[in-house]
Homo-oligomer: A and B are copies of this chain.
Amino acid sequence: MKYCSHCGAEVEVRVPEGDNRPRHVCIICSTVHYQNPKIVVGCIPVWEQQILLCRRAIEPRYGLWTVPAGFMENGETSQQGAARETLEEACARVEVEGLYTLFNLPHINQVYLLFRSRLLDLDFAAGEESLEVKLFDEQEIPWEKLAFPVIKESLRLYYADRETGKYPLRSGTIIRAAGSARSYRIILDPS
């Protein structure tokens, strides 16, 4: 951020009065431009014993598999956002059930909210951001070709909980290891 979106003047980085951390502040109109984490909402779409995954047609992680998920939009609920992403990426209709995982990704300022959901019919297809969309049995999940650690961990937890048939909220934090772009540590909160 270099310019004030309100008046067009330059911004500087300083701690505003009464605040305790540096912000982008306009040098003319003094508007403070806050930057906050974004919410990624998504579904784990289930059909009988299978889960619907999408193969990404966009960067990052082009060609790898994920659950339907994306940035929550203004004016919607997190559940509506999760259903919308599932419709956009997998052309699939779901009944969104309970929140299943909450993961903090502080290195990229994101919070993931993934909901269990029930696929309503088998009339799905690849949306614009997907190369293909497919139902997987547990033993078919492409564990080494999943796009993001948060997805891999959420699916791992899901299959562990499926053994008991109970799905309490699972939460935790994904930490990117220093010095490497592709090495992560996962800390689960006590449940």
Contact = CB atoms under 8 A, between A and B. Distances in A.
Interface of A: 1-8, 10-11, 18, 20-21, 33-39, 71-79, 88, 98-99, 102, 104, 106, 109, 111, 113, 128, 168-169, 171, 173, 189, 191
A128 B18 contact: yes
Nearest to A104: B77
A191 B98 contact: yes
Contact of A74 (B6, B36, B71): B36
Contacts of A75: 106, 109
A interface majority secondary structure: loop
B8 A8 contact: yes
A98 B4 contact: no
Given A98-B191, A99-B169, 16 more contacts: A1-B6, A2-B8, A3-B5, A3-B6, A3-B8, A5-B11, A8-B10, A36-B39, A37-B72, A37-B73, A37-B74, A39-B39, A74-B109, A75-B109, A98-B171, A169-B169
B76 A189 contact: no
A86 to B, nearest CB: 15
Contacts of A1: 5-6
Contacts of A3: 3-8
A4 to B, nearest CB: 7
B2 A35 contact: no
Contacts of A111: 39, 72, 78
Contact of A5 (B2, B38, B74): B2
Nearest to A38: B36
Contacts of A99: 102, 169, 171
